[in-house]
Every structure is written in C-alpha cells, then in structure tokens.
Amino acid sequence: MYKKSFFSFVLAFMFLITTNLQTAYAVNGFELFSPYSGVSVTPGETVNYDIKAINDTGAIQKADLSVNGLPQGWSYNLTAGGFQVDSLNVQPGSQQSLALELEIPLEVEKGTYEFEIQAANANGPDDTMNLSVTVQEQGIYQTEFTSAQPNLEGDSETKFRYQATLRNRTAQEQVYAMEASAPEGWTVQYESGGESVSSVSVASNQEKTVTVIATPPNQIEAGSYSFDVTASAGGTSSSQTFQADVTGQYGLELSTPSGQLNTSLNIGGSQTMELIVKNTGTIPLNELSLSAQSPPDWNVSFEPASIPVIEPGSQQSVQATVNASGNAITGDYVSTITAESAQASDSIDTRMSVQKTSVWGWVSVAIIILAAAGIYFIIRRYGRR
C-alpha cells in the first residue's frame, strides 16, 4: 500500500513539473542576449554591440525592435544582414544576429547611462535587454588650435614657418576660416596638405596639420614680434599665439672709394685697385671671402683674401691686383668681383681697358725717326746727281 501511494506521489510530482516547464517554455522562450551589457567609453567614440535574438519556442517568432531610454542627442543604428531593421523573424529553435551601433556625442557629461533594447511580440513572448554605457571623462564641444613650437628665431629675410594642429572636437564637420592679427607690415599665409589655403575643413573628431607662414617687412628692426592666428567655424573657435624673434638684418656692400669701376693696364701687365667691403646691416658679418670671375688667363688676387668679421656700420679696405693675360689684345675686359659671407653677398663688375705697352710705343717712334733720317740722308747725298 505504501509502495502504491509513493508511486502515485511521484507521478503527480512529475506531472506538475512538466506542466510548469511547458508554461515557462511558452512565456520565456524568446530572449535577447549580448556578451557586453556594460561598457566604458570616452566622448566621441562609437560602441558596437553584438546581439543575439534567441527563439527557443516551437513556432516562428516576430519581434518588433526598439531602443529606449537613450539621452537626447545620442544616435544609433540597428542592423541585421547589412540592413537597418525595426522588426525581426526568428525561426523555431534558432537565433538571429543583430548589430547595434551607438554613437556617443562629444558634448556629454561624465557618468553612467542606461538604456534598453526591446523585442515586442503581440502574439507571443517578448524580451527586454538592459544595457549601460559609462562615459569616463567630461565631454567637450570645442575647437583646438595648438602648436608644439610657437616660437622661432631668424633674420629679417627669414620666412617663419610654424607647424600647428587643428582639432575638431565637435559633432559635425567644420570649415575653419583662418585669420591672423599680425604686426604692421607682416604677411601671414597658410598651407594644409601641401597647398596654400585660407580655410581648412576638418571632419568631426579629427585633426589636420596647418602650416603658418609669417613674413616680416623689409628693413625691420631686431626684436620679438608676436601675433595671433584664429581658426573659427560657426559657434566654435580657437586661437594660438606665435612669436618671431628677429635677430636683425644682414647687409653687405662692395664698392670702391670713388665709386669708379674702370681702370686701364697694359698687355701682360698688372693694376691694383682699392675695394671697400661695408656691412650695411644690423648684424655682424663673419668669415667674408673675396673672389673674381675674370677672362681666360687673367688673374685677380686680394689682400687680405678673407675678412674674419665686420661689425654693423663698419667697413674693410681690400687691395685687388689684376694681372692681364700676355695674350690679351687691345680692348675692354670685364671682371666680376664678389664679396660674400654665409649670410650676405654683393658683386661689382670692373671694366679693364687693355692697351699696348709704352715700350713698344717708343720703339715705334724710334723706327719712324730712323726711317725719316734715312730718307733725308739719301736725298742729301744722291739727290743732286
């Protein structure tokens, strides 16, 4: 009797379990699943969720999909098979893959944000999956225009080239107008991507390199000069201050004391002329040398041949000795004389008039006199016969 009662109890218990399992199977046989329910990101990032819609029922389930609870300004794309979807059919005993792409805006508060994906089925089971995103730092909506080396040094003829970075930390692409407040007489130009530009387009959350080129005016005095460059677009802008340290102006002048650049000499002879090398700039000139381009077989030497330094406003006298070729013929010849340093140079053209030597002139006169005397002697002696 006890065995029969025990057997009846087991049958009743198994019946209750089976009934409850079938009920649970019908109510909870469809669910959404993602291995990553909570992620941490920075402003401007894009989060990609892999989601599975699992159908454990015995019938095809159609679920209407929605994403709820996202903060204002957040955007998403829900796709399956490469298409955007808002509903899904899942066969019995199978699963369907979904992809949720969530874009975190740049202008966002630091903190944790919760939202849900809902699969609603009017005629069957549905499910809701809760997700969270933790923004690790305070978001921004701004432009950054910076330079790692905003201070350069050069002389008055230097084109100061600064490398700067323009960052767009807004949610949209921006076209930035470039504008400079430069000192009087200075010109400021811009290059990006190897081309001259007046504006620069930067995609959202991206950056570009901008070259700022500042050219000082002529005859500028030595000193430090600063100017601001602003990149502006819509309601956002950023400025960077640049500084140019102008060391002064290089200037070199080569001339003669009288300004005369021509002289004369005999064939094969030599002539010495004085040159004046003057520093007309505001910076000392160092290691100056002199050289000449002369006709073939001509030679020009200098004393001194080099000058260690000439201070601003000072000058140095140099003796240039020109040796004419012995094969030269009567006429004018030009020699180009150059004085130069690593910073400046100047040249002059000297004209050399070559003439026959005075010895040959006297020989010619003597020959003429002797010829005339010979004729006179012949006439006197033989003329009356």
Domain 252-358 part of CATH 1.20.1110.10: no
The closest of 256, 253, 290 to 273, measured between CA atoms, is: 256
Domain boundaries 2-135, CATH class = mainly beta
- Helical segments of 140-274, H only: none
Per-residue pLDDT tens digits of the chain, which is 385 residues long: 444 554 454 444 444 444 343 333 334 588 999 998 899 998 888 999 999 999 998 889 888 999 999 998 899 999 998 899 999 899 999 999 999 999 988 888 899 999 999 999 877 788 899 999 999 988 778 899 999 999 999 988 899 999 999 999 887 899 999 999 999 999 999 999 999 999 999 998 899 999 999 999 987 888 999 999 999 998 899 999 999 999 888 889 999 998 888 888 788 888 888 999 999 888 889 999 999 988 888 888 999 989 999 998 899 999 989 888 888 788 888 889 999 998 889 999 988 888 765 555 555 667 788 777 778 777 766 665 5
Pairing of strands 262-266, 345-355: parallel
Residue 307 vs residues 84, 192, 279, 333, 335: alpha-carbon distances, Å: 80, 44, 12, 27, 21
0.75 exceeded by the pTM? no
Residue 216 vs residues 57, 161, 186, 213, 226: alpha-carbon distances, Å: 80, 12, 5, 10, 11
Asked whether the beta carbons of 264 and 355 are under 8 A apart, the reply is: yes
User: In 10 A of CB 166, how many CB atoms?
Assistant: 24
Strand partners, 351: 262, 334
Q: Write down the domain spans for the chain.
A: 2-135, 142-246, 252-358
Say if 2-135 and 252-358 have the same CATH topology: yes
What CATH number labels 142-246?
Answer: 2.60.40.10
